[in-house]
Amino acid sequence: MSTEVKVPTLGESVSEATIGEWLKKPGEAVALDEPIASLETDKVAIEVGAPVAGVMGQYVVNVGDNVAVGAVIATIEDGAPSAGAEPVAERKETAVAPASDSAASPAAPTPAPTPVAAAVASDAAALSPAVRRAVLEHGIDPATIKGSGKDGRITKDDVVAAAEAKSAAPAPAAPVAAAPAAPAGERGEERVKMTRLRQTIARRLKDAQDTAALLTTFNDCDMSAVMSAREKFKDSFEKKHGVKLGFMSFFAKAACLALKDIPAVNAQIQGDEIVYFPYVDLSVAVSAPNGLVVPVVRNVDQMGFAEIEKAIGALGKKAKDGTLTMADMQGGTFTISNGGIFGGLMSTPIINPPQSAVLGLHRIEDRPVVRDGQIVIRPMMYLALSYDHRLIDGREAVTALKTIKEAIEDPTRLLIDL
């Protein structure tokens, strides 16, 4: 008895996925709810668990195939696993002979032996073991050799002499090759089909460029105060809250302060309407094995530093483990993307539609700046705010970024809501 494995519900507005990888081979034992396949959707990878315990049966679809919700992708069989389970790819390559009226044909034709091997097999009784070995090694047809031994038997020396004569003779013209072999050192190419996630990323980024009136405003930020506060309180913070104090919580709180003052930066265009949100659902761009993803921290404007750090850390771990859900990805009113962790000095980030703005963070480096008429060295970071100019005016974008800068340079502002 077999049980069908079907594509589970993938989330709101997601109707199909792509078979990314089979995690179990036919014939292998499968436990209840054990992952047997990985599906790639537009946003995340989802594992399909076994509906029953048993033995992995046949694949109904192949890796790379698109499947709809509810479609059958494999079967689970009752019984114990086979000792030598054959992968489905090998079974598919086995030739199936057509049925015959006289007798059943073999499942796959036996490959024909080479002429030399056939000749050796036919003359096995007449050839000594040493001669048979020499014939096979030199590739000489024994029928073409005149034996010098007793009763005209072929000797090993006869085989060697025939091989030398063959090598001395001019080689026949080589047939025209169907495709010339690539010369040594030739540069090669590799073609890999884009994953569904990468296709979605490409489409959404291009749509953002084609739809929104994108513009980026820049500023630089002195990180001295935040770095000093972090260094002073990092040990006690981690001891109390069980999480490290990073820079993202400072920027998240600073962004909330700016979005409260400039509501348009936290708004969206939907049709011919502008939707303003009284809350901040912060999308945080993180790197996952299959590409960049932006899970959402809900109601970040109501969180403290420790809550923000824990939430971002948990989402980052899920992204690396490939366990993000559709719920983790949906929504978001504003995005922070930290290219500084990869060493980026400056960039023009692209908004995450339908959002209207994204804050780009970059690496911190010591630079000479003027303070009170003196040139001093300070840890500086470039900030970039890309925004949809259809909704956000330049004055609003510059003001929002300036508010973020001032809050980072003087974190006391975060405490007194200034």
Residues forming the active site:
389, 393
Return phi, psi of residue 44, to 5°: -140, 165
Question: CB neighbours of 89 closer than 8 A, spacing ≥ 6?
Answer: none
Residue 418, both tokens: 């200034």
DSSP 252: H
Q: Are 381 and 362 in contact (CB under 8 A)?
A: yes
The number of beta carbons lying within 10 Å of the beta carbon of residue 146 is 9
Alpha-carbon distances, residue 120 vs 128, 129, 140, 146, 227 (angstroms):
10, 10, 10, 15, 82
- Helix-, strand-, coil-residue percentages of the chain, each rounded to 5: 35, 25, 40
Using CB atoms within 10 Å of the CB of residue 6, give its burial: 0 to 12 exposed, 13 to 18 middle, 19+ buried: middle
Locate tokens 């019984």: which residue? Answer: 79
What are the residues facing 379 on neighbouring strands? 366
Amino acid identity, position 280: V
Do 36 and 55 form a contact (C-beta atoms < 8 A)? Answer: no
Strand order through the sheet with 66-68:
45-49, 35-40, 16-22, 66-68
